[in-house]
Structure 1
Amino acid sequence: MHNRLVLASARRRLLSVVIGVTVLFAAVVTGALPPGTASAATYSGYAMAYFTESPNTTGANYGLHLAVSSDGLNWTPLNQNNPVVTPAQGTGGLRDPFILRKQDGTFTILATDLRGTDFTQPNQYIHVWESADLRTFTNYHRLRLHSLNTHSWAPEAFWDASRGQYAIIYSAVSGGHDVIMVNYTSDFVTVSAQQKFFDPGYGVIDGNMISDGSTNYLYFKSTATDALMGARSSSLNPGSFSVYTGAVRPGRGVEAPETYKSLTSNTWYMWGDTYSPNGRFFSWQTSSLSGGSWSPLNDRSYTQPLNSKHPGITPITATEMSNLTARWGTPGWNRLKSYNFPDRYIRHADNVARIDVYPFDPYQDQQWRLVPGLADSAGVSFQSVNYPGMYLRHSNYALVLATNDGTTVFRSDATFYRTAGFADSSWTSFRAYSHPDRYIRHYGYVLRIDPITSGSSATDRQDATFRVGY
């Protein structure tokens, strides 16, 4: 009996050590977070806050939108890509939302108080919400940060342990150009007087902070170069950050950097947003923040929420993700991305099916309901969201958008079977119901059905491969 008790005690101690090592390893793997954030050992996904705009602003909505992702790269909009809460004060709209996980595990949401694109408006206030779980939002108020005749753009916050307070950083004009300002707070109701946090001598906006545990990194947009850059410091003190990276840009102007770490590897990601209202996200990665070198990701690797602008990203637990999805629901529509032209999506234009570069308007032309096949429920049919009585069908092998006339021929021509993607089995190819040797593919950016086999050329196989996402 004594030996069994000793053995049981030893097993408990061993289990305790294994659990402790496992938690420590998970915390190390996922350790790069905003300064002061608690251990990420239990995080298994991300939440993104954003607002929406489209090229001619028909997709503009200046409320708080949310999306979730398990990998931080491919995102599922919640609430049908509609806002989950909308400001009731100030301009009645927001831009640049940011989600802070506070020391007690709950959230504070900060956002610029600005509706639309009139960036000449001075505004001393930002929007603030509290939330226990990102499913309900309470204590909404506007917070005055300064008394200057300037703006308060792109607020973000982090915990400064040396002060025992949260730091709110944002962009405002001082000395004739934009700088990053800071106010300190314990409750997001009252704040200290503003002071200059970072000023390299030229205009800087959209400050975003991350830490690798020993060094703090501040990423920002340089208005002098229209590029993203980084500064770093061993402390969080105002004035202590020094620029250390070269410019990061996708070949055109970019802003709104948002950095976060993979939950499964030693990889950091940075997103950037091109100018409003024609924005789209670009993404880069690095294995070393201290190295300061970022490599662009292929558009094939990531998919932003439809019409999303200026993201704020925070890690969340599996339970939080499940609860968010249950509360807000996932879209009843999909978008389909081209494999070999991943900046293009399937859309209809003048009733012709084609792939076009995102973003575009009408943005609804790229939204499809993948409904049970009209000729065989085991297949799928592509129902237009903005023309719900119309479906993609092939006619003389060309794909067109046409009204369902209820005939057997129409149902047959509008039905396809999902198969593993020819170019990538994790993607999708679509075989025609009525011509089982033919698959949907693009040719000259226009969709048609052609014979495709595993022995077809690499180009043909790539042309017939798509990602079903949002």
Structure 2
Amino acid sequence: MPRAAARLGAIALAACLLFTSWTAVTPQRAAALDPFTGYLMVHFTGESANGEQIYLAHSTDGLRWTDLNNGGPVLLSTVGTRGVRDPVIIRSPAGDRYWIIATDLRIASGTSWNDAANRGSTSIVVWESTDLVNWSPPRLLNVAAGIAGAGNAWAPEAIWNPATGDYVIYWATNSSRDGVTKHRIWYVRTSDFRTVTSPQLYIDRGSGQGIIDTQIIEVPNSIGGYRYYRASADGHITIEASNSILGGWTTLGNLSHLGISNGTGGGNVVEGPMWAQFNGRNEWVLWLDQYATGRGYLPLTSTNLGSTRNFQTRSDHSMGGTRKRHGSILNLTAAEQSRVLARWGSTVPVNRIQSYNYPDRYVRHANFDVRIDATVSPAQDAQFRLVPGLAANSGYVSFESVNYPGHYLRHYGYDFVLAANDGTATFAADATFRQVAGLADAAWSSFQSYNYPQRHIRHYGYQLRLDPITDAAGRADATFRVTS
């Protein structure tokens, strides 16, 4: 995580007593849930302007992924550092509530890794939902406030603990203990992701070895001999097992025999372990982020987690169009899958915006400025998706860039730029327009500003502007055709 800051999922779903437990990455069924039919991955994409936000991907087989929301972010952090990494999605045991928690960190803002590790946020960011599609505003939860000298709170995970009837949130904090400053794993307990117990030390590897990324999965029927398995990035990818989340853990080994490590063992250097169970069968996948080579996630599968020798690397996977970084996987019921795909699964057509009075020219972005040009290279600089308006859906549109998902045309000082959505109401208003009959030709279109309705998009000197339209020349400049 200190470089890739990965997020992985430890999830909440465990039925108590009569029901077997489940975690957000384990498809064992709680009594209140229907069978699982699909998979939802929550992740971030990297240190780009909008990469440190919440992205979603969907799979029907657990190995081949399709980006949702046309590859753009679905949730934006407007609190703390205004960026998030390492997201995890958690489901309640009854399946009636969900949370996404994530590291409060935005390297894209210019923060150095040293500052982030030693003088960073001690809070995590939390979203809450009852249906997986309508989410609360983000809020901060200060989990590491009680750790002396805490420098950060990275890579949070959570899992339902039937032994205590609440959730265990665990994460990495860099602090000094016994004269040694390094990352260790700490935990708190919570019932609502709003209030937490005092932090307790959870994993300390001893000597100078730090640990940041760790994730637990619950295994139905204790296949392999244990109820819980834990993968941690601690120089190696160490696999441990236990029958109690907060009890003792047995080390099973690492993945060095596969040429995989977290740096200490060399070879394929990875981080961000992410567990999932395949729907309908006793087979598990451990995804590892190959951050050192930038090759993205590598899946290892096993039908018995009781020995690290049972893992096999897989090549029959695909990750979609965006780079997936440190995330988590939630197994979906048919009803959940239907809601998620209805909200984010449809593909909005790719369009170009043609000028009425200069029909050989199209709206394009160049170095994030916006103009009309006749020859556009690369072609995607002139391609946009007309999505429902960010500030108002009905009758309004926003122009989302195809090659910069999450970036939109917006006016700023009545000039136009391509900018990353920052989640503010001002941005949404500046990037929202009513599509009306063309001012020069009703068969074409014009675009009226949402927050300055007396102004329309027009070109002037080939530059895009937001102006009042008062004459025939202006009406021609403000008329466009949405074309393929």
Question: What is the correspondence of 1:110-149 to structure 2 with a 5 Å cutoff?
Answer: 110-116=101-107, 118-120=112-114, 121=116, 122-138=120-136, 140-147=138-145, 148=147, 149=150
**Given that residues 112 and 153 in structure 1 are in contact (C-alpha distance below 8 angstroms), is that contact kept between their aligned partners in structure 2?**
yes
Question: What is the correspondence of 1:292-307 to structure 2 with a 5 Å cutoff?
Answer: 292-304=308-320, 306-307=322-323
Cα distance in 2 for residues equivalent to 1:209 and 1:64: 21
Matched residue, 2:158:
157
Cα distance in 1 for residues equivalent to 2:54 and 2:102: 9
Matched residue, 1:402:
none
1:3-59 CA-partner distances (Å, limit 9, x unpaired) = xxxxxxxxxxxxxxxxxxxxxxxx99x999559972565111111101112xxx557
* SS of the residue 2:163 aligns to: coil
1:424-457 CA-partner distances (Å, limit 9, x unpaired) = xxxxxxxxxxxxxxxxxxxxxxxxxxxxxxxxxx
Matched residue, 2:249:
241
Give the Å deviation of 1:296.
Answer: 4.0
What amino acid sits opposite 1:204 in the alignment? I
Matched residue, 1:314:
330
Identity across the alignment (%)? 32
Cα distance in 2 for residues equivalent to 1:219 and 1:311: 14
* SS of the residue 1:73 aligns to: coil
Question: What is the correspondence of 1:458-469 to structure 2 with a 5 Å cutoff?
Answer: none
**Given that residues 241 and 249 in structure 2 are in contact (C-alpha distance below 8 angstroms), is that contact kept between their aligned partners in structure 1?**
yes
1:221 corresponds, among 211, 221, 233, to: 233
What amino acid sits opposite 2:308 in the alignment? G
Cα distance in 1 for residues equivalent to 2:139 and 2:403: 36
**Given that residues 35 and 210 in structure 1 are in contact (C-alpha distance below 8 angstroms), is that contact kept between their aligned partners in structure 2?**
no
Matched residue, 2:73:
83
What amino acid sits opposite 1:130 in the alignment? E
**Given that residues 261 and 269 in structure 1 are in contact (C-alpha distance below 8 angstroms), is that contact kept between their aligned partners in structure 2?**
yes
Mark the CA change 1:333 to 1:299 in structure 2 (over 3 Å): closer, same or farther. farther
What amino acid sits opposite 1:65 in the alignment? Y
Give the Å deviation of 1:172.
Answer: 1.3
Mark the CA change 1:290 to 1:68 in structure 2 (over 3 Å): closer, same or farther. same
Matched residue, 1:466:
none
**Given that residues 209 and 219 in structure 1 are in contact (C-alpha distance below 8 angstroms), is that contact kept between their aligned partners in structure 2?**
yes
1:283 corresponds, among 292, 296, 299, to: 299
* SS of the residue 1:204 aligns to: coil
Mark the CA change 1:218 to 1:162 in structure 2 (over 3 Å): closer, same or farther. same
Cα distance in 2 for residues equivalent to 1:207 and 1:35: 19
1:43 corresponds, among 31, 36, 39, to: 36
1:324 corresponds, among 324, 337, 340, to: 340
**Given that residues 35 and 159 in structure 1 are in contact (C-alpha distance below 8 angstroms), is that contact kept between their aligned partners in structure 2?**
no
**Given that residues 24 and 89 in structure 2 are in contact (C-alpha distance below 8 angstroms), is that contact kept between their aligned partners in structure 1?**
no
1:214-271 CA-partner distances (Å, limit 9, x unpaired) = 321111101xx3x322111121225x12321223527321111011111133211010
Cα distance in 2 for residues equivalent to 1:218 and 1:165: 19
What amino acid sits opposite 1:61 in the alignment? G
TM-score of the superposed pair, with normalisation by structure 2: 0.58
Matched residue, 2:174:
173
Mark the CA change 1:32 to 1:137 in structure 2 (over 3 Å): closer, same or farther. closer
Cα distance in 2 for residues equivalent to 1:142 and 1:386: 31
Give the Å deviation of 1:294.
Answer: 4.8
1:184 corresponds, among 181, 189, 195, to: 189
* SS of the residue 1:301 aligns to: coil
Cα distance in 2 for residues equivalent to 1:244 and 1:232: 7
**Given that residues 214 and 273 in structure 2 are in contact (C-alpha distance below 8 angstroms), is that contact kept between their aligned partners in structure 1?**
yes
Gaps of 5+ in 1: 1-26, 335-361, 370-384, 388-470
Mark the CA change 1:158 to 1:58 in structure 2 (over 3 Å): closer, same or farther. closer
Cα distance in 2 for residues equivalent to 1:197 and 1:216: 15
Give the Å deviation of 1:200.
Answer: 2.6
Cα distance in 1 for residues equivalent to 2:334 and 2:25: 18
Give the Å deviation of 1:319.
Answer: 1.9
Cα distance in 2 for residues equivalent to 1:305 and 1:285: 23
Aligned residue pairs: how many?
311
1:230 corresponds, among 222, 225, 239, to: 239
Matched residue, 1:11:
none
Mark the CA change 1:232 to 1:295 in structure 2 (over 3 Å): closer, same or farther. closer
Give the Å deviation of 1:119.
Answer: 2.8
What amino acid sits opposite 2:61 in the alignment? D
Cα distance in 2 for residues equivalent to 1:112 and 1:168: 12
Mark the CA change 1:113 to 1:36 in structure 2 (over 3 Å): closer, same or farther. farther
1:98 corresponds, among 85, 88, 92, to: 88
**Given that residues 86 and 325 in structure 2 are in contact (C-alpha distance below 8 angstroms), is that contact kept between their aligned partners in structure 1?**
yes
Give the Å deviation of 1:162.
Answer: 1.4
